[in-house]
Amino acid sequence: MANLNDLIQSAVMATAGKVDIPSNLKNQVLGGLSDSILGSFTQTATKAGGLDEIKNLLTGKTNPAKSIVTALAGNLFTNNVLNKSNLGALAPSLSGLVPSVMSRLSGMLKDQDGDGDVDINDILISLKGGSGNNVLGAAAGILGGILGRKK
């Protein structure tokens, strides 16, 4: 299975094709969108109840449009990218990409460790993906150490 960062980037690329982004800003906007979504997952994971919020989003139990993870990603994207890029009338279309990307990610989390349920181990396995050489892999390792893995 691809790691969450790869899945986010794939969802961003598939969803962003709906909006005509100026070529000189495309990398900045797409990278900022990916970073904002990744940031929302990592920030949410460190809050009380955050892992459950992520689990509910990624298993499809929470509507992506109503998820706090989506709302945080939208705020990060607006504050860190859109407000700094002077995109004018294009900004609302671009901010609408956040829920679309989250919808693509919704339902992707499955039982990864074969224990019959989706739990913190499955989230950590999904975050780490196959490589373990990424920010999410490091974050997952830290979270696993802080929170202790459920056995």
The verdict on residue 134 lying in a domain is no
CB atoms near residue 110 (< 10 Å): 12
pLDDT of residue 2: 54
- Residue 147 in any domain: the answer is no
Q: Is residue 83 part of a domain?
A: yes
Task: List Cβ neighbours of 73 (8 Å cut-off, separation of 6 or more).
Answer: 36, 37, 39, 40, 98, 101, 102
Domain limits for position 11: 4-109
Does the pLDDT at position 133 exceed 80? Answer: no
Mean pLDDT of 11-27: 80
Confidence of residue 25 (pLDDT cuts 50, 70, 90): confident
Task: Tell me, yes or no, whether 36 lies in a domain.
Answer: yes
- Within a domain: 70: yes
Query: Would you say residue 39 has pLDDT above 90?
Result: yes
Tell me what the mean pLDDT of segment 66-74 comes to.
95
- pLDDT range class, residue 128, cuts 50, 70, 90: low
Please check whether residue 144 lies inside any domain of the structure: no
- Say yes or no to pLDDT of 77 above 90: yes
User: For the segment 81-90, what is each residue's pLDDT rounded down to a tens digit?
Assistant: 988 887 888 8
| Within-domain flag for 34 | yes
48 within domain boundaries: yes
Least confident of 7-21, 71-85, 99-113, 131-145: 131-145
**What confidence tier does 43 reach under pLDDT thresholds 50, 70, 90?**
very high
Domains: count for the chain: 1
pLDDT higher for 68 or 143? 68
